Amino acid sequence: MALLRDPLLNKGTAFTEAERDALGLRGFLPAHVLSMQDQVERVLVNLRGLPSDLEKYVALNSLHDRNEALFFRVVCDNIDEIQPLIYTPTVGLACQRYGLIFQRPRGMFISANDRGRIAEMLANWPYPAKLIVVTDGERILGLGDLGAHGMGIPVGKLSLYSACAGIHPEHTLPIMLDVGTNNEEFLNDPYYIGMRQKRLSGAAYDDLVDEFISAARETFPGVLIQFEDFANHSAFRLLHKYRDRINVFNDDIQGTAAVALAGLFSALRVTGGKLADQRVLFLGAGEAATGIADLVVSAMMAEGASEADALKRTWLVDSRGLVVKSRAGLTDHKLRYAHDHAPIGDFLTALQTLKPTAIIGVAAVGGAFTPEVLQAMTAINERPIVFALSNPTSKAECSAEQAYRHTGGRALFACGSPYDPVKLDGKTFVPRQGNNSYIFPGVGLGAIASGSRLVTDEMFMAAAHTLAYLVNKDDIEQGSLYPALPRIREVSAHIAVAVAEVAYKRGLATAPAPNDLMAFVQSQMYHPHY
């Protein structure tokens, strides 16, 4: 019975006659033995019959809890269909209703009341974790403070690590640092699963994070820690505090940056220009915007631009308008992109004034790329680059159909949420998500395979170049700036190799250098089968 209840070992109705005898399963299962493919098909029939994406999320989550191998087989073989159900956009709604749909705990919940015993708690985890995704739930996607309900994000991210890059599920550990929530709706929600108190802050918050980091490294030596969906005021500070000392990264800052940069490289294959000659205008000035801006500036400098020239080509617009030097009270991450310019209060006027070649939306303001914005970009550029990267879908700056229609099919478009192909004037455009799942799984695989002591910006730059290189001519011709999602394991393997090469080149790797790095990386990848 214990075997049937362990999702890492359970095969359900696929246990063979011999296994049923050898493992004491005779009588616990119906007589007919199904193949794994039979099980996959049955799962899909049931899944496709459900009336809503949230119910499909719950069904997949239940499968994940019963049978890991079958869950990942379903995901890997149907990635286009399943990824939007287990991650964006459906995971946003799942997090909002997490207390209501909660069935079985996954990962670990560490609360503010657990100070002084976090190492003891982590020692209870029964598996050898190599990768932790941790959140405090303060900025879940574009949905704000969801507190402990944000646990859906680390769970979803780690599912993608296993599906997209073959990190063995046994080696993954999602963690929620439950420090309370300032979301009044949740504090009054009878089904809220977290601490019912206002958020911890200041020294008490920092001490809890410090204790967690120390305990994680002590319990799981060499573990890679990914910060996920922390609010801006914590995200930048924690990344800068730990990044040069231990094996950590922030996907919202660095992963988003790499996938956006790869999209720019792909777009430039159409326009024919150099990155160093572009002018990029961001809607948003948080961790995603400045993370992308930082990597874009580094890439421009790699092409020969001075830092000053690269910075002059990179502009931010936040809720108060264009980020300029004369504005008081700018936070550190905005200061680098605060230029000498008269204040401008709205995005459209900033666009008409600065005449960018690319606009990148990461502010989670739904519909912000209005028809007027898109038409203005088209008046300035023969092939305007338009990235509407906010998610979930309700927070997208524009849809794919809007982007193509209001630019006369001239937009080079990438999105943060999935959209169906768009038919316009006899041509079919296939938009693809600038989704971090193209980047972070391969980065994690490369760091783990090489035993890298740090995850560096150079690794994310290498990942961006690799991803852009893997976009083929057919992709470009149909308007796709990223590879087809079913190629994601191939993409992740190539990115892992590029990341590992940086680790070996910079003396950061602790694993011996293999003769054939690609073969070694592929040998490390988990394949879901019985």
Identify the CA nearest to 525 among candidates 490, 477, 485: 490
User: Positive or negative, the Cα torsion across 310, 316, 322, 328?
Assistant: negative
Please state whether beta strands 427-429 and 422-424 pair in parallel, antiparallel, or not at all (unpaired).
antiparallel
Q: What are the beta bridge partners of residue 339?
A: 324
Tokens in use for 71?
């869950």
Tokens in use for 414?
């990438």
- What's the Rg (C-alpha) of the chain? 23
Q: Is cis: bond before 221, omega within 30 of 0?
A: no
CA torsion, ordered 273, 260, 332, 111, to nearest 10 deg? -170
Q: Choose the catalytic residue: 11, 130, 157, 395.
A: 157
C-beta separation of 493 from 450 below 8 A: no
Residues 6+ apart with CB under 8 A from 464: 257, 258, 259, 261, 262, 265, 295, 299, 439
Q: Choose the catalytic residue: 56, 57, 87, 242.
A: 87
87: annotated active-site residue? yes
E strands along 122-200, which residues? 131-135, 172-178
Please state whether beta strands 224-227 and 280-283 pair in parallel, antiparallel, or not at all (unpaired).
unpaired
Residue keyed to tokens 């943060």: 416
Cα–Cα distance, 94 to 90 (Å, whole number):
6
C-beta separation of 445 from 496 below 8 A: yes
Measure the N-to-C terminal CA separation of the chain; round to a whole number of Å.
18
Cα–Cα distance, 425 to 401 (Å, whole number):
12
User: What is the phi/psi pair of residue 415, to 5°?
Assistant: -130, 160
Helix, strand, coil shares of the chain as percentages rounded to 5?
50, 10, 40
User: What DSSP line would sit under 68-112, residue for residue?
Assistant: HHHHHHHHHHTHHHHHHHHSTTHHHHHHHTHHHH--S--SEEEEG
Distances (CA, A) of 239 to 236, 242, 251: 5, 6, 10
Please state whether beta strands 321-322 and 314-318 pair in parallel, antiparallel, or not at all (unpaired).
antiparallel
Cα–Cα distance, 184 to 173 (Å, whole number):
29
Tell me which residues are annotated as active site: 87, 157
